């Protein structure tokens, strides 16, 4: 059976290094062709403007900055994305962030991602 993620390029926008490493490892284990990381909104926007991504996963809060500024660039390019939050208490987020349609709670376990 072919791996559905074998040709997928994903941008992960995360400022917590251990969460980032876990997410990169999980996506690599699932067979993603390319996982690119950004830890700031400005870095994410620069990467989005310079490269093509098939999808993205965003931390909602990047050291106080809201990552939706970078996700707005993906909306314009029609690239699917999801926000990841660290606790259920953060689910009271701005309605404008719900454009993504997915709001996984970190850590994103491999089994949950495969089931999706």
The whole-model pTM stands at 0.75
Condensed to tens digits (0 to 9), the pLDDT of residues 17-39 reads 988 898 888 888 888 888 999 99
pLDDT, greater one: 4 or 14 = 14
Render pLDDT for 37-84 as a digit per residue (tens, 0 to 9). 999 999 999 999 999 999 998 887 788 777 778 888 888 898 988 887
Nearest-angstrom CA–CA distance, 61 and 67:
6
C-alpha span between 15 and 2 (Å, rounded): 32
Fold held by 9-115: Rossmann fold (3.40.50)
């Amino acid at each position: 059976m072919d791996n559905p993620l074998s040709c997928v390029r994903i941008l992960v926008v995360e400022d917590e290094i251990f969460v980032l490493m876990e997410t990169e490892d999980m996506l690599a284990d699932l067979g993603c062709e390319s996982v690119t990381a950004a830890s700031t909104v400005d870095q994410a926007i620069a990467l989005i403007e310079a490269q093509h991504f098939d999808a993205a996963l965003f931390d909602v809060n990047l050291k106080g900055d809201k990552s939706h500024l970078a996700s707005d660039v993906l909306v314009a390019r029609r690239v699917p994305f999801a926000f990841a939050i660290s606790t259920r208490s953060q689910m009271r987020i701005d309605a404008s962030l719900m454009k993504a349609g997915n709001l996984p709670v970190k850590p994103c376990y491999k089994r949950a991602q495969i089931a999706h």
